[in-house]
Amino acid sequence: MSQTDCLDMPHTKWELQIVNGWKFPGGLSDPCEDIGDTAVREVLEETGIKSEFKSLLSIRQQHNHPGAFGKSDMYIICRLKPLSYRINFCPHECMKCEWMDLHELAYTSNATLITSRIAKLLLYGYKEGFHNIDITMRTFPAVYSGLLYSLYHKELPDHYETKTGI
């Protein structure tokens, strides 16, 4: 989890509600980069933490946002599994970066609303099971020979995967 400097964001008639607030690492996808690969790369670039993609947790959509270059914006939040734990954050991206207690992050006033909400979602997942919140990814062959596509959805029980299970 990182604390980033929001002071360099463009200021318009909208005012920033939280400056230098706690938020999760994030950024834009490169062309032809899958969602999970973007999340893993951005976390590594901003924090130095190696990780692997586990699932999607949520998608935020907004329109007419001053920082979205006049476009509608979708922000996809992924759940990752850390493969390393030593933080080596990028000072160009973050003012501070540290591991935090999830309960503290969920209820602090120094976090963005989306960060607090996702922290609460993660708390629910740890308590009730991530199968209740995860949107996983499966790869399937596309209709074009040799090509694949990624389909994101809630996991199906194993007995739904076979014809005999229903």
Give catalytic residue positions: 45
Q: What is the C-alpha end-to-end distance of the chain, expressed in Å? A: 42
Q: CA 109, CA 100: separation in Å to the nearest integer?
A: 14
Tell which residue, 54, 73, 27, has the closest CA to residue 135: 54
Q: CA 13, CA 15: separation in Å to the nearest integer?
A: 6
